[in-house]
């Protein structure tokens, strides 16, 4: 059987993978730590004497670069340079070279620390400058300012997959190199400022008033192996310390180690404040980076009765923490900002409040800048598969880092599909004429989105794996010009026969076209090559664009049923035609016209403003339908659905009376009511409207049993009242009679509006609640962009969904956001809404979220926006502690801005090894 060798092959492959000794070691230890001594030769780890952590050589983590020793003048024993700095790995070839750290917990937060000590290893006496990336996101420019400096860069990030890559990018200013790389897991709850889209880059982490000013607190004193730099200047500061344990508190999100918290400083001159400052460091992609500061406080003295220690924390002379802060005796406390603060300079001053009888103190501080981690890496299964293929065939080329991202460094010979909300996928692999040998690896069948595979003109041997036929999207396989043998597997033959596969295998002398011919000796030149051109299956992807449909209104079946879930309150009033005439003062003021008839403005006896929709006598809609729909409307009650106040059936005259929505439709507000931009909504208002509309839909979908599908969600069917509260209208009733230019009436046919209709419903004629979710996604996109559902682009109108997807694929949210909002929004919340919208508009309904999920997501966005608005006013920071002293200012600033160039400072001033401790 053709399948047997393949099975065997699979087993062999598995066996080989699990016996890979190197691979096994490229993994975290029992604490989840990975500690790499880059450039260290061999395969054996060693134990670092100070931390007792095991440092591994780097061969299992990277497959390029070369190992070097630093030059002898930097190796002097009296420098006590830790062992990992004695060697390094440099990367003279390729633009991007990476370390891959595996077996991580997807979604967990990690501390990553890269160290660099040049030590004139290449004898050039010239320090290179290069970029460092975490996966597909920029981390930092590595710019070491002094030959004898060891630079340590630390980042806290969420790792989305079970592996993370740290990549060195050659930017043309010297050969990148690295001395050490550490990874430490953090708890999910720690550092709430670290999110899936934002990481923190450490600027400084200080332990004030250390017991021993040459000792760095790190593992095991800090179980997360953060490195706390000792800081003291006894001329200005008095140290306060305790030997007692400083307790953690509930929900402690920083877990500052007790060794750091047991010491603090206060001004020697008790009338002074604590002050320190730093300047922002512009980054190439972020000229004014945002900063997060975390200050750690604990009272270490038992205060006498009537003594009070309370202080203000000020940033740039404004209160940063809103009230006076009193540290608790032997308990951890921290003040910090949640949203990054952006200023030209940061002057922090901690001063005693007027009630305080004691000077301020501070135990520790951490200052970070934020980086964006919004760029999505390629779908992880694809990454694993292509990495395995790379290993199997020893592919050289530029195959390092993420296969698809950034586009400028995408792997040669691959074609990727760039998606926005879902990770990028590998669509085509062309390894023709690349000297591949051995068999066809099973890893190809893990590239589940593969459409095109060309392995022609290599030296491949063995049989053709039938499993390739199971790749759902594969339309082309070219295996011609190899040394493959055996028969064409049945699965592939079948796909060739049913026309879904273009399969080439000519010039493989040992392949036989059918099973029985395999008995005979190797064929002469095989002339039986099958070459079937298959017209690409035109997928219904562009459905919402390409198909112009006559959308026909059909009365919904489900509305007839017993509506157990919706509260059945028939308190609605029935009006006579005469009453309506009075209410509308003789049908005077027209609010609008629709297929159903005309909508008039009116007042009830109690002066309630109403809208009266009068059925035109020429309306095609039947009387029974009208009544049935009115019945439903009386049963739906939700504050985000337009309320029906009553109805009228008086002979041939029929009407519905609704609450009056003075601000009209959302449509009018998106496009803007007039040229002055009057009536345009700001981002917060848009978010609120989105959330309220979603809640209305949520009620229809889950508050009613069976669920009610609106079928025509769009901005013209979302009405706004005087306080801009959104209510969904035109569900059921009104739509059944709708008859305007883009909507046609009929029964048992499609319902909806061009540009908003769920393509799956279109294909199946079977609407689901996800059909509403799809339309709602389009509304969200209109809210974000201020553009209509169908953009009048030439040569062909294009759906807003495709437009936003293509724009976001370039990574730039700003390009799609409605310019009328003038940049007044939190980018995170806009980005999030765009993502929700794109999820809602997924082609396949199962991939769309439920409306309940959308409501939850939008609530989070509104929270983000609230924080943004608040931070705007407060300067965005919370810190804690205060003594005025210009010297501290200078010295601490030095500390703060020097990017932890520990070794050199220590080397210059003391002969200890700071890094290893």
Ligand X SMILES: *[C@@H]1O[C@H](CO)[C@@H](O)[C@H](O)[C@H]1NC(C)=O
| Distance in angstroms (rounded) separating the CA atoms of residues 672 and 658 | 25
Q: Which of residues 317-336 bind ligand X (CB under 6 A)?
A: 317, 319, 324
Q: Which of residues 754-813 bind ligand X (CB under 6 A)?
A: 811
Contact yes or no for 179/168 (Cβ under 8 A): no
| Distance in angstroms (rounded) separating the CA atoms of residues 740 and 753 | 10
What are the two backbone dihedrals, phi and then psi, of residue 591, each rounded to the nearest 5 degrees?
A: -95, -35
When the beta carbons of 405 and 780 are compared against ligand X, the nearer one is 405
Q: Which of 14, 234, 288, 355 is the binder for ligand X (CB under 6 A)?
A: 355
Q: Which of 476, 529, 582, 867 is the binder for ligand X (CB under 6 A)?
A: 476
| Distance in angstroms (rounded) separating the CA atoms of residues 794 and 654 | 45
DSSP state, residue 329: B
| Distance in angstroms (rounded) separating the CA atoms of residues 215 and 914 | 7
Helical (H) or strand (E) element with 206: strand 198-208
Q: Which of residues 64-123 bind ligand X (CB under 6 A)?
A: 67-69
| Distance in angstroms (rounded) separating the CA atoms of residues 489 and 879 | 68
Q: Which of residues 45-74 bind ligand X (CB under 6 A)?
A: 67-69
Which of 578, 725, 709 shows the shortest CA–CA distance to 655? 578
When the beta carbons of 471 and 751 are compared against ligand X, the nearer one is 471
CB of 380 to ligand X, least distance (A): 18
* CA distance readout (Å), 572 to 312, 332, 599: 59, 60, 19
DSSP state, residue 331: B
Token pair 């439903």 is at which residue? 632
CB of 445 to ligand X, least distance (A): 19
When the beta carbons of 531 and 550 are compared against ligand X, the nearer one is 531
* Residue of 382, 712, 826, 913 marked catalytic: 712
CB of 411 to ligand X, least distance (A): 15
The answer to whether residue 306 forms part of the interface with ligand X (CB under 6 A) is: no
Q: Which of residues 391-410 bind ligand X (CB under 6 A)?
A: 406
* CA distance readout (Å), 59 to 65, 70, 266: 10, 18, 48
Q: Which of 45, 375, 381, 852 is the binder for ligand X (CB under 6 A)?
A: 375
Binding pattern to ligand X, positions 424-453, x when CB under 6 A?
--------xx--------------------
Number of chain positions touching ligand X (CB under 6 A)? 36
CB of 360 to ligand X, least distance (A): 10
CA 33, 39, 42, 43: dihedral to nearest 10 degrees? 20
CB of 310 to ligand X, least distance (A): 6
DSSP state, residue 391: H
The answer to whether residue 897 forms part of the interface with ligand X (CB under 6 A) is: no
The answer to whether residue 312 forms part of the interface with ligand X (CB under 6 A) is: yes
Token pair 């001329």 is at which residue? 235
Q: Which of 27, 143, 391, 912 is the binder for ligand X (CB under 6 A)?
A: 143
The answer to whether residue 129 forms part of the interface with ligand X (CB under 6 A) is: yes
Count CB-CB contacts under 10 A for residue 591.
Answer: 15
The tokens for 731 are 């569900």
The answer to whether residue 314 forms part of the interface with ligand X (CB under 6 A) is: yes
Beta-strand pair 311-315/318-319: antiparallel
When the beta carbons of 64 and 375 are compared against ligand X, the nearer one is 375
**Would you say 620 is a known binding-site residue?**
no
When the beta carbons of 64 and 67 are compared against ligand X, the nearer one is 67
Q: Which of 4, 14, 285, 705 is the binder for ligand X (CB under 6 A)?
A: 285
Q: Helices in 88-176 by DSSP H: which ranges?
A: none
| Distance in angstroms (rounded) separating the CA atoms of residues 767 and 283 | 50
Binding pattern to ligand X, positions 239-278, x when CB under 6 A?
--------------------------------------x-
The answer to whether residue 478 forms part of the interface with ligand X (CB under 6 A) is: yes
The tokens for 660 are 């009056």
In the residue annotation, 48 being an active-site residue is answered as: no
| Distance in angstroms (rounded) separating the CA atoms of residues 627 and 648 | 10
The answer to whether residue 693 forms part of the interface with ligand X (CB under 6 A) is: no
Contact yes or no for 96/409 (Cβ under 8 A): yes
When the beta carbons of 406 and 490 are compared against ligand X, the nearer one is 406
The interface region with ligand X, picked from 314-322, 491-499, 728-736, 859-867 by CB under 6 A, is 314-322
Q: How far apart are the first and last CA of the chain?
A: 62
When the beta carbons of 98 and 633 are compared against ligand X, the nearer one is 98
Task: Give me the half-sphere count of Cα atoms (radius 13 Å) on the Cβ side of residue 209.
Answer: 22
When the beta carbons of 61 and 731 are compared against ligand X, the nearer one is 61
CB of 454 to ligand X, least distance (A): 4
| Distance in angstroms (rounded) separating the CA atoms of residues 314 and 896 | 18
The catalytic residue positions are 712
Q: Which residues are annotated as a binding site for ATP?
A: 613
Residues forming contacts to ligand X in the complex (CB under 6 A) are 67-69, 129, 137-138, 141, 143, 145, 277, 285, 312, 314, 316-317, 319, 324, 345, 347, 351-355, 372, 375, 406, 432-433, 454, 456-457, 476, 478, 504, 811
């Amino acid at each position: 059987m053709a399948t047997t060798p393949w099975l065997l092959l699979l087993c062999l492959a598995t066996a080989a993978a699990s016996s890979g000794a190197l691979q096994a070691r490229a993994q975290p230890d029992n604490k989840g730590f990975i500690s790499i001594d880059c450039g260290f030769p061999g395969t054996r780890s060693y134990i670092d004497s100070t931390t007792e952590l095991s440092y591994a050589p780097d061969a299992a983590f990277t497959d390029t670069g070369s190992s070097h020793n630093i030059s002898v003048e930097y190796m002097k024993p009296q420098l006590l340079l830790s062992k990992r700095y004695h060697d390094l790995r440099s990367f003279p070839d390729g633009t991007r070279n990476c370390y891959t750290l595996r077996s991580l917990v997807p979604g967990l937060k990690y501390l990553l620390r890269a160290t660099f000590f040049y030590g004139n290893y290449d004898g050039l006496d010239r320090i290179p400058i290069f970029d460092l990336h975490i996966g597909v996101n920029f981390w930092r420019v590595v710019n070491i300012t002094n030959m004898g400096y060891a630079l340590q860069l630390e980042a806290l990030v969420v790792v989305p997959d079970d592996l993370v890559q740290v990549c060195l990018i050659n930017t043309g200013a010297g050969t990148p190199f690295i001395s050490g790389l550490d990874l430490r897991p953090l708890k999910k709850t720690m550092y709430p400022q670290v999110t899936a889209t934002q990481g923190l880059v450490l600027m400084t982490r200080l332990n004030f008033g250390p017991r021993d000013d040459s000792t760095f607190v790190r593992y095991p004193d800090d179980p997360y192996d953060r490195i706390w730099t000792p800081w003291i200047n006894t001329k200005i500061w008095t140290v306060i310390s305790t030997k007692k344990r400083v307790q953690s508190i509930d929900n402690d999100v920083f877990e500052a180690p007790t060794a750091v918290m047991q010491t603090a400083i206060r001004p020697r001159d008790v009338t002074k404040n604590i002050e320190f400052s730093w300047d922002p460091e512009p980054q190439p992609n972020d000229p004014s980076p945002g900063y997060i500061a975390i200050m750690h406080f604990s009272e270490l003295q038992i205060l006498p009765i009537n003594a009070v220690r309370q202080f203000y924390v000020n940033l740039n002379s404004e209160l940063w923490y809103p009230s006076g802060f009193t540290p608790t005796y032997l308990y951890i406390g921290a003040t910090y900002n949640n949203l990054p603060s952006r200023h030209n300079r940061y002057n922090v001053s901690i001063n005693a409040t007027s009630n305080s009888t004691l000077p301020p103190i501070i135990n520790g501080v951490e200052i970070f800048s934020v980086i964006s981690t919004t760029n999505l890496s390629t779908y992880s299964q694809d990454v694993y598969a292509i990495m395995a293929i790379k290993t199997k065939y020893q592919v050289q080329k530029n195959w390092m880092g993420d296969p698809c991202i950034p586009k400028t460094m995408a792997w040669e010979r691959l074609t990727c599909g760039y998606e926005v909300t879902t990770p990028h996928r590998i669509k085509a692999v062309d390894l023709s004429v690349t000297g591949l040998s051995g068999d066809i690896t099973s890893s190809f069948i893990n590239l589940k989105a593969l459409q095109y595979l060309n392995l022609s003109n290599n030296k491949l041997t063995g049989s053709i794996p039938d499993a390739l036929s199971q790749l759902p999207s594969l339309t082309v396989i070219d295996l011609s010009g190899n040394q493959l043998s055996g028969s064409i597997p049945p699965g592939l033959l079948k796909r060739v026969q049913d026309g879904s596969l273009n399969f080439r295998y000519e010039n493989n002398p040992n392949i036989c076209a059918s099973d029985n011919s395999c008995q005979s000796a190797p064929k002469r030149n095989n002339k039986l090559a099958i070459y079937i051109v298959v017209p690409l299956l035109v997928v219904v992807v562009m459905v919402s664009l390409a198909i112009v449909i006559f959308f026909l209104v059909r009365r919904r079946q489900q509305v007839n049923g017993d509506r157990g879930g919706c509260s059945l309150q028939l308190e609605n009033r029935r009006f006579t035609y005469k009453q309506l005439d009075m209410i509308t003062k003789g049908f005077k003021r027209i609010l609008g016209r629709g297929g159903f008839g005309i909508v008039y403005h009116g007042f009830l006896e109690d002066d309630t403003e109403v809208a009266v929709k009068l059925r035109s006598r020429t309306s095609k809609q039947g009387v029974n339908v009208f009544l049935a729909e009115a019945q439903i409307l009386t049963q739906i009650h939700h504050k985000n659905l337009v309320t029906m106040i009553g109805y009228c059936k008086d002979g041939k005259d029929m009407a519905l009376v609704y609450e009056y929505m003075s601000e009209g439709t959302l449509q009018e507000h998106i496009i803007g009511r007039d040229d002055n931009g009057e009536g345009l909504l700001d981002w917060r208002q848009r978010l609120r409207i989105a959330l309220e509309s979603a809640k209305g839909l949520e009620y229809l979908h889950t508050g009613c049993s069976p669920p009610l599908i609106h079928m025509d969600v769009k901005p013209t069917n979302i009405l706004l009242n005087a306080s801009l509260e959104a209510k969904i209208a035109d569900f059921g009733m009104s739509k059944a009679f709708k008859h305007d230019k883009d909507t046609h009436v009929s029964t048992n046919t499609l319902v909806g509006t061009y540009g908003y209709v769920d393509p799956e419903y279109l294909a199946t004629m079977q609407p689901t609640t996800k059909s509403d979710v799809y339309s709602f996604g389009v509304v969200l996109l209109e809210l974000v962009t201020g553009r209509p559902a169908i953009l009048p682009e030439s040569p062909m109108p294009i759906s807003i969904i495709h437009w936003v997807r293509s724009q976001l694929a370039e990574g730039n949210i700003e390009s799609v956001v409605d310019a009328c909002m003038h940049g007044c929004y939190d980018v995170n919340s806009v980005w999030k809404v765009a993502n929700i919208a794109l999820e809602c508009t997924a082609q396949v309904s199962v991939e769309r979220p439920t409306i309940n999920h959308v409501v939850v997501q939008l609530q989070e966005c509104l929270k983000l926006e609230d924080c943004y608005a608040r931070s705007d006013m407060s300067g965005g920071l919370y810190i804690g502690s205060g003594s005025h002293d210009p010297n501290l200012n200078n010295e601490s600033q030095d500390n703060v801005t020097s990017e932890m160039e520990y070794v050199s400072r220590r080397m210059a001033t003391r002969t200890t090894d700071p890094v290893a401790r």
